[in-house]
Structure 1
Amino acid sequence: MNPSPHLPPWWHVMLPHSDIRTARQINEAIFAADLGQVVRGTAPADYLDPLRFYTGTFLSEGLLSLLSDVLRQLAGEQAGNRIIQIETPFGGGKTHTLIALYHLCQHPASLTARPEIQKLLRQAGLSSIPDTTIAVSFGTDQSAIEPTHYPDGTRAYTLWGQIAWQLGGAAGYARVQASDTQRIAPGADAIRALLEGGPAKLILIDELVNYIVAAAGITVGSTTLKDQTIAFLQQLTQAVAQTPRSVLLLTIPGSQTELYGEAARDMQYEMFRAAGQVSDIMGRVQTVRTPVQGDDIYEVLRRRLLEPPTDAAEKDRRREQATQVARAYVALYRSIPGDMPQEVQDEAYVERMVRAYPFHPDVVRILYERWGTLPDFQRTRGVLRILGLVLAERFASNQHDPLILPAHFNLAPGPLRNELVRIGQDPAYTSVLDSDVAGSNSKAVAIDESTGRELARFQPAVRIATTIFLWSFSGGSGETRGASEAQIRLGVLTPDMPPALIGSTINELRRRLWYLHEEADTYRFENRANLNRVLVQKEESVTAAQARTHVEDAVKARAKRSPPPESRVYLFPRASDDVPDQPLLGIVLLHPDQAAPAGERLDTLPALVQQLLLKHGERPRQHRNALIVLVPDTDLVTAAERSARRLLALQNAANDTNLNIPDHQRQELRRMLREAETNFPQEVARIYRSVVVPAAQDVGGMQRVDLGARASIRGEAFWDDALEALESREAYLRQLDPVLLDENYFGIWPTGTDVVSTQRLWESFIQFPHVPLLAGREVLLRSIAAGCERSVLGYAVGDSTGPLSADTARFGPHNQHIKVEIAATTWVATAAYARAHFLPQVDPVRTIVPERLTSKAIWPATAPQRRRLNDIWQALVQESAPRPIAGLEVLQAALHEAFAAEAVQVEVDGQLVQDLSSVPMRSEADLARIELVRPEQKPISRPRYLSIKMRESIDAANISQVLTGVIVPLRQQGATIRLRLEFDVQNPGGIDPTLIELNVRETFKQLGIEVTLDSEA
């Protein structure tokens, strides 16, 4: 499947080289440029054949400039420094440059016609490659002890002997023979004699430091061959500097890291010190050239790993398609700017992606900047081998990726993994990869498989883990190892992949991987276990019995919460007689090992449930309808035990003084412990998912209610949610409508009688499983009392045979002071019986005027526009007390008159009726279905202006009443009030003039009111 259908797979644009396509063994040696092998004719064809070499070589601006300058100096056309040290910023490429010069000067006839060589000659201002004699020295396989044998029988023992023979044959060697055999550096005159006359002279010295370190062990008089070689280099550089048409190029390691590899570790320091000495000598006369730098590396890699374009048209097509891919990816990056590195926002990043294609720039960056600093990594050849392995695997597996990302490195067991583990110098990383990253049993693979097909196709977990692994290595001192989330996104995201998938998957990896470490907002893999692994080990040390006991203890602790009034809690019964048979609501909590699967099937319940509900020991349970059984859920018990194991493991880890983890992980441990301490009680609170209550025998004798998968527990106690669920199904009542008793809704009122003892009524509720469970005796007491107040039920104190008299009876307003009690000598009566026998003998109300139905006493103005007829009936009964109403017929007659006068409209079950003759009104249940609707009242007009003129004068003492009764209410409704006042003031003793001026006049003045004051003596 193509992850981005509108983008071409990279191998449709440019194919890998044939040896990569055929999956031939990809050794680092294939990419190792070896000048000695080229000279001896034993190098691979890509290096040995000058045409193939230049086909696979990218002539960067730096390399073109270097070749041009050397050719001009060999031709005598350019003055300046002819001692050149080659370096590259990323390691590698130095020997490749020497081979380029060697082929150019050794095989001019084969190369001159090539377009790039013609361009080179034009840049140098030459028509042909100068005739040149070449001397080559390669320190990697040159012995400091054994002589070098030449075809004419000459044996050269030193570097100067070898160079002399290559420049001048036997005659040239004769000039330095004495110095060579004695291993003493020749003088500058002898060296100049080798350089002067004849063709131009080109001296190429590669990997000299290796030779110098070996020469340190050979004594020459009071010195060593190393000292003599360094002295020779000093003479050689002076001679070349003084001799036109001679050029010396050599390579010296740019850092100690480049000296690592196959060299023995105890030689590293000496090699680097020797390199420093050579650099000191060369530094006086040399120029340092950098043939490949910056983004040139992308083209270098492409030339070496991928087939070249056949012509200019294909080259343009490749660039066009690479640009299409680059812009698609950059558009993705810019759509989430806050989640990506800042560099991708620059337009220059598009060009970088085009140059790096088919690799993502981060692929090269990681290998050069991170892996390239590791001791056993030869940068360019190492990168070429790794990328060759990646190309081979992606091509062979027919992957349709538009771009090769860091996430595409296949770290499953195979050559690529082996190579990376070898470079990382720690075989333990094989276990890290197997555990967390790649391979059939890795956790990242398991995470991907659990995400569902739609998301699993992106392999987010494996690809994120792969990217993090690649960022986890670095040999640079002080460099932070690992990848930020932005770098991870850059290494994983494709245009069709949901960006949000990255964050969620990282969180899952953090939670489940064993070797993933997080620090300073970066993620990396290490070969030491993280907190996840520590906790797994701690969890493995917690036994199943310990986890079960912890859950059991938590259930016991939570069960100590106060039960509902008039009830008892029974914890973990093992037999039916562990729960008493008594007239008191019992709440039974089964032990967690008595769990049942979710659902409402009865046959999956433990046998103990039925035994508890039906029996007490060997006898039938008398008070069957007084038990509620809470049954644990199988899966929820397992989850609680898992949570217990997690909590115990975290506690053990937190208390482990020998646990060696970083501070940030210790902080994470404390956070996880706090979270577990919160989660565990919640898991325990959820385990009782089923509640079972008695039911009629024809439905199995039990009713099971599944409380469902509750994310949170609303109640404080185990039974709170259970009782609420039962109440919603009317299987458990905290309130009992007395009408249900009067109408014998539950079928527990004895047939043929109007009175029943309260004791028998209560026993019926706690014995018969077909009726709801009552929360307690108080529910029945409140119901009887409410029935008396509403004239629905009557209550009387009597003896064992029945009520005694109306004096000890309660009904409606009659004897409301009598307290209801449950006993064998207290009785409940139907409303009809109570009305006939419990009330003083008074004439009943036989007529109700229709206007009374809508009067304020019966139907307050604040009441809704509609009102149920049973509410009106209750109001009429209350208002008529102590006189009873002579039956519903009286109400029916009044309603017919009001309906005929259109004072009310009538609805039955929400439907408007036009004829009352078919509307039943035989019981209060019928009245509950009927609703009266008052016709709409026309709104009273609201005047906008009101003028009030008092015809009579009032005493000033009453002015406050005018204020509170008139002015204040009007102002509260937003009215603006203007007063015109006229005062008549009389005082037989006279009015103080000062009071008139300072109080009266001044007060009106402050109010801005002009007044006229007339006074008489």
Structure 2
Amino acid sequence: MASRPKPWHQLAHLKDELRTGELTLAEFAADLHEVALARGRHAIYEDPQRFFSLTYPTLPLRDLVKDVAERLAGKSNKAVRQLELTYGGGKTHTLITLYHLFGKEAQALPDVGAVRDFREHMGGGEFPKARVATLCFDKIDVEKGIAGVRAPDGEQRTLRHPWSVLAFQLAGADGLRSIHGEGKDEERETPPAEPLLAALLEAPNDQGLATLVLVDEVLTYARQRVAGSESWQGRIVDFFQYLVQAVIKVDRAAMVASLLASDPAAQAGSLGEALRANISQVFRRQHEEGIQPIEKEDVAEVLRRRFFDDLPDQESYRSHVIRIVGGLDRLEEDPARSRTEEESRFLASFPFHPDLTEVFYSRWTQIDGFQRTRGMLRTMAMALRDAEGWDPSPVVGPAALLTQDGTGTSAAMRELAGVVDAAATESTSQWSNLVEAELDKAQQVQQEVPILAEQREVEQAVITTFLHSQPIGGKANTSDLLRTIGSGVPDPIELDKGLRRWRDVSWFLDDADAADGEGGSKLPRSWRLGKRPNLRHMHDEARRERVTEDDVKSRLQVEIGKAKGELDGGARAAGADVHTLPGSPKDVGDDGAFRYVILGPQGVSDSGKPSPTACRYINETTGPNRPRVNRNAVVVAVPSRDGLANMEEAVRTLLAWEDVNRQLDNQSVDPLQGQRLRMQLTDARKRVPDAVRQGYATVVTVNEDNQIHAFKLAPSAGPLFPEIKNDQRSRIQETPVDAEALLPEGPYDLWREGEDAHFVKDLAGAFARDPRLPKFLTPKTILDTILQGVERGLLVARQARPDGSARTWWNCRVDQEATASQELEVVLPNKAELGDLPQELLAPEVLPDLWQGSKLPVASLASYFSGSHQAKIPQESYDDYLQVPKCPEQALLAATKAAVTQGNVWLVNGPTSMWKEEASADMLEGGELRPPPEPIPASELTEDALPGAWN
């Protein structure tokens, strides 16, 4: 990560008066009347030295001073100028500038930079001196008038009408007499006509002075006056009509007027609008082009002069600015401005972020109640005073509007929020509360993405979005947002992650904007905060207030039951009996079949800690007094505690989105909001089965020591049952074992001392009962192993007949009927006696070690099947042995006869031989068995081959 540039307050130092609180917020409201009274209450405006040290002579303001100076010198016809400003845009400050420059006949102007700039711009020389009359209409009470009106000789009076105030300031009592119908030193009730006013304006010429009339806050007075009596609407308009005409006729007279009221309510409504339109029309007919003393490019310098000690030349900050702009370049793939342009912007605005002053100037000035320059001064004063000690940002940006400890909202933010709330006509929600809620969300995000906690970029994003969202309908483009909050050189990837996370958790980001980047890796195209809760807020409210725990538990049971593919996928096909959410252990059979049990939340267990509920399904059947016999055939899947919490969370989320959907079902929904809601519902529905699958992470079963144990599976995206089956701790075997493992010397120890036979069903059932044995998914798997042992001669199968005799099978397949019999036994060969012997076994190369060469004496069969013979089976590097069971002589003879008759062997006894014909007992006695004779080719039976035989 790139190193951070220095904080702004290490490079630019606040004025002591701001830092200590000596400069109060009230002092940003310039008051022309107080300056005229010169009572010392507002030294920052009354003292020219202090006033001009804080004044930035913008080009429009210098042009205005030059024009007024030329008019007062009689060298220009630009007599009437109107300040075309929004509230708090520097109009009163402009009027005070003119008051100090052209009034104060006996007092020299201070030698400060601003005064020098004004003088230089008007061509040098001294400023023309004038008698200045101030008409501060907001100070004229409609009933009592205004006190402290000062005449040129110092006399003060209280006067009621604006023309009286003008006359007394210009000529004292003589002024009042000059406009009175009877020449009395009294006020008149109607406005004087233009000739009387022109004569009044010329009166200062007698002392060699020009005349300057400064008009402020006209609409404040006019609205109240007309509200009391409609006849006053005509009087006020006539007064200004006559005054404007009179000023134009007097060569060294000028008037600069600001008509708008500082309080927007003063011109609100039809009456206020009508007054503004009528008075403005009078000025439009006569005045030159309007003046806007402070333009956008001047704002930063105005703020600098007001709040900071003299700053070095801009070039001294270039390296600092280059680092900032370099960091911003990393945040945008295609910046709107070139790097050179951006560096110039930051240099011109330093220590303020140019986009911060831009949003105030271009957007907030459209809000009723936010006073352009004055509003920024008040906001910045509060922000800078609080942020100087902690703000890590390299420029004064949105971070300055945060609180140091992150609790609540700053005084500056509360003031801004109050301005917007006051301008609102519909919503009763308080912006301060909404912004505080979003800041809480941002702090949560910064905890998740800790690298953003130092510069607090996500909190800055909240402030920036709020500022850009005003007035109603405004929004911040993503490029604007990144550029405003990115001056601290954040990591682009982490910042992107943090902003996307804020988008996801925000309660008041507009859904239409948030939907741009929904579900993807890109940020939305725009960001807008509104007072209307977004889908996320509605969702969170539903989770908190309407989705109950009972709702979650009930729905979770349903979702678990539906998650068949995730939880029991492949179990039935593998042969297991699946029990999903059984009501009790009695619902799980105990017949030796493999039982795969899926319990609900009541079975929740952690590794090494099987729950009592899960244990009951292994230990019991119908109750504690009916223990389960086949404990080794039961495997229980249960949720882990973490997994259960995640499942409940996923279900709660889904229920909340479904609640939101019901709320909006009968409402007119914005298409983008509707699309986002459908996406959220789809995602929530997909998440539940996955959460269920991942939640079932614990397996409960018996181990080799016959102890119930619980173990946790490794995370996996596949179905649950295959994961359980493949985990060695489950001890599940799907394929048959080798039949030799079933013998007494095998690993399973199935034969107790003295045992020589087992019923097949009992031997197969041992694997379901005995925890030392592996678990087989189906009894047939074990049965196949047993039958395989019979076919290989390792075991003898025996089935008793009702007459006490028995059918036996050895080294052959047991027929299907016998296999299904509950009476089928397996006997160890050394303890078995065959009831009959399949004749096929006597053929050469069938039984090991039976034939010694090409002859098998019939008499040797008795020795081979004596019950004590072990046939040798040569292997590659050792000899193996097969125990041959006993076979009675009668069965041997029967098998031998059948083998001869069937042609599997050839019987030879002396000169007589038999093959494929029934042999007598005499033939068998002393006879030898040989392999079947080779077939005789037909060519060897011809007359030529056997001439004697054909005679």
Query: Is the structural similarity TM-score above 0.5?
Result: yes
Contact 1:796/1:810, CA 8 A, preserved across alignment: no
Deviations 1:226-257 (A, max 9, x none): 4234333333333333332222211233xxxx
Cα shift at 1:26: 4.0
Alignment counterpart, residue 514 of structure 1, candidates 498, 507, 527: 507
1:693 match: secondary structure: strand
Note the 1:359-374 alignment, pairs <5 A.
359-374=352-367
Cα shift at 1:483: 2.4
Alignment counterpart, residue 765 of structure 2, candidates 750, 763, 779: 763
Deviations 1:793-823 (A, max 9, x none): 566555499x999994336xx9999996675
Partner of 1:707: 713
Cα shift at 1:31: 0.5
Partner of 2:195: 189
Partner of 1:175: 178
Cα shift at 1:487: 2.6
Question: Closer, same or farther in 2 for the Cα pair 1:190/1:107, shift >3 Å?
Answer: same
1:422 match: secondary structure: helix
Alignment-mate amino acid for residue 270 of structure 1: L
Partner of 1:549: 554
Partner of 1:685: 693
Find the aligned partners of 1:355 and 1:758 in 2 and give their Cα distance: 97
Contact 1:569/1:588, CA 8 A, preserved across alignment: yes
Deviations 1:819-859 (A, max 9, x none): 96675435376899999x9842747899xxxxxxxxxxxxx
Partner of 2:398: 406
Question: Closer, same or farther in 2 for the Cα pair 1:817/1:115, shift >3 Å?
Answer: closer
Contact 1:138/1:206, CA 8 A, preserved across alignment: yes
Deviations 1:52-72 (A, max 9, x none): 111000111222222123223
Alignment size in residue pairs: 815
Find the aligned partners of 1:165 and 1:775 in 2 and give their Cα distance: 113
Find the aligned partners of 1:298 and 1:141 in 2 and give their Cα distance: 31
1:96 aligns with 2:109: no
Partner of 1:162: 165
Partner of 1:272: 273
Question: Closer, same or farther in 2 for the Cα pair 1:175/1:146, shift >3 Å?
Answer: same
Partner of 2:223: 213
Alignment-mate amino acid for residue 493 of structure 2: A
Alignment-mate amino acid for residue 94 of structure 1: K
Question: Closer, same or farther in 2 for the Cα pair 1:506/1:119, shift >3 Å?
Answer: closer
1:82 aligns with 2:67: no
Alignment counterpart, residue 583 of structure 1, candidates 576, 584, 592: 592
Note the 1:517-666 alignment, pairs <5 A.
517-520=510-513, 521-539=525-543, 540-558=545-563, 563-564=572-573, 566-572=575-581, 576-596=585-605, 598-599=606-607, 601-602=608-609, 604-606=610-612, 608-609=614-615, 612-613=618-619, 617=623, 618-656=625-663, 657=665, 662-666=670-674
Note the 1:136-535 alignment, pairs <5 A.
136-148=134-146, 149-150=149-150, 151-152=154-155, 156-178=159-181, 181-196=187-202, 197=205, 198-216=208-226, 224-253=231-260, 259=261, 261=263, 263=265, 267-287=268-288, 288-309=290-311, 315-316=312-313, 319-338=314-333, 342-345=335-338, 347-395=340-388, 397-410=389-402, 412-425=408-421, 428-429=429-430, 432-433=433-434, 436-438=437-439, 442-449=440-447, 451=448, 453-474=450-471, 480-520=473-513, 521-535=525-539
Cα shift at 1:585: 1.5
Cα shift at 1:385: 0.7
Cα shift at 1:131: 2.7
Percent pairwise identity: 23
Cα shift at 1:91: 5.5
1:140 match: secondary structure: helix
Cα shift at 1:50: 0.3
Cα shift at 1:623: 2.5
Alignment-mate amino acid for residue 689 of structure 1: A
Contact 1:353/1:361, CA 8 A, preserved across alignment: yes
Contact 2:434/2:531, CA 8 A, preserved across alignment: no
Partner of 1:961: none
Alignment-mate amino acid for residue 467 of structure 1: T
Q: Which moved more, 1:557-566 or 1:8-17?
A: 557-566
Structure 1 residue runs of 5 or longer lacking an equivalent are 254-258, 310-314, 847-883, 893-920, 925-1017
Cα shift at 1:886: 7.8
Question: Closer, same or farther in 2 for the Cα pair 1:831/1:547, shift >3 Å?
Answer: farther
Find the aligned partners of 2:659 and 2:278 in 1 and give their Cα distance: 59
Question: Closer, same or farther in 2 for the Cα pair 1:350/1:89, shift >3 Å?
Answer: farther
Partner of 1:867: none
Contact 2:767/2:776, CA 8 A, preserved across alignment: yes
Contact 1:794/1:831, CA 8 A, preserved across alignment: no
Find the aligned partners of 2:662 and 2:799 in 1 and give their Cα distance: 71
Contact 1:738/1:783, CA 8 A, preserved across alignment: yes
Contact 2:240/2:282, CA 8 A, preserved across alignment: yes
1:457 match: secondary structure: coil
Alignment-mate amino acid for residue 139 of structure 2: D
Contact 1:806/1:840, CA 8 A, preserved across alignment: no
Structure 2 residue runs of 5 or longer lacking an equivalent are 423-427, 514-524, 850-868, 882-951
Q: Which moved more, 1:88-97 or 1:34-43?
A: 88-97
Cα shift at 1:345: 3.7
Cα shift at 1:300: 1.0
Alignment-mate amino acid for residue 205 of structure 1: V
Q: Scaled by the length of structure 1, what TM-score is found?
A: 0.72
Cα shift at 1:370: 2.8
Deviations 1:490-514 (A, max 9, x none): 2322444222334333333343333
Question: Closer, same or farther in 2 for the Cα pair 1:806/1:582, shift >3 Å?
Answer: closer
Question: Closer, same or farther in 2 for the Cα pair 1:748/1:80, shift >3 Å?
Answer: same
Find the aligned partners of 2:632 and 2:445 in 1 and give their Cα distance: 50
Q: Scaled by the length of structure 2, what TM-score is found?
A: 0.77
Find the aligned partners of 1:229 and 1:832 in 2 and give their Cα distance: 133
Find the aligned partners of 2:102 and 2:762 in 1 and give their Cα distance: 123
Partner of 1:132: 130
Alignment-mate amino acid for residue 409 of structure 1: L
Cα shift at 1:400: 2.9
Deviations 1:18-63 (A, max 9, x none): 2321245842x21112111111124522111101111000111222
Question: Closer, same or farther in 2 for the Cα pair 1:641/1:350, shift >3 Å?
Answer: same
Cα shift at 1:434: 7.0
Find the aligned partners of 1:431 and 1:298 in 2 and give their Cα distance: 26
Contact 1:88/1:293, CA 8 A, preserved across alignment: no
Alignment-mate amino acid for residue 499 of structure 2: I
Alignment-mate amino acid for residue 193 of structure 1: A
Partner of 2:824: 825
2:636 match: secondary structure: strand
1:425 match: secondary structure: helix
Question: Closer, same or farther in 2 for the Cα pair 1:760/1:119, shift >3 Å?
Answer: closer
Alignment-mate amino acid for residue 219 of structure 2: V
1:80 match: secondary structure: coil
Q: Which moved more, 1:292-301 or 1:39-48?
A: 39-48
Question: Closer, same or farther in 2 for the Cα pair 1:815/1:608, shift >3 Å?
Answer: closer
Find the aligned partners of 1:424 and 1:651 in 2 and give their Cα distance: 34
Find the aligned partners of 1:634 and 1:890 in 2 and give their Cα distance: 55
